[in-house]
Amino acid sequence: MLAPLGVYLVMGERAKNVLGNWRDWAVQHNVAVMAVLSPVLGLKLVGDGVSILAS
């Protein structure tokens, strides 16, 4: 979340092109990103629950 802010603060107005490319990539690959993040976050939650129950 801080990466786009950092790019904008460092590059100023020149960051519009870079950030626009990042946005376009994120829109194009939204399904793949969610397909990876959802199981990872789910496993993290399950692991936290198991560790709470085990202690």
What pLDDT, in 10s, does the model give residues 1-42?
899 999 999 999 999 999 999 999 999 999 999 999 999 999
Structure tokens at 12: 């100023």
- Decide: pTM greater than 0.75: no
Q: What is the DSSP letter of 1?
A: -
Q: How far apart are CA 42 and CA 8, in angstroms?
A: 32
| Cβ pair 7, 19 in contact under 8 A | yes
Q: Identify the pLDDT of residue 55.
A: 87
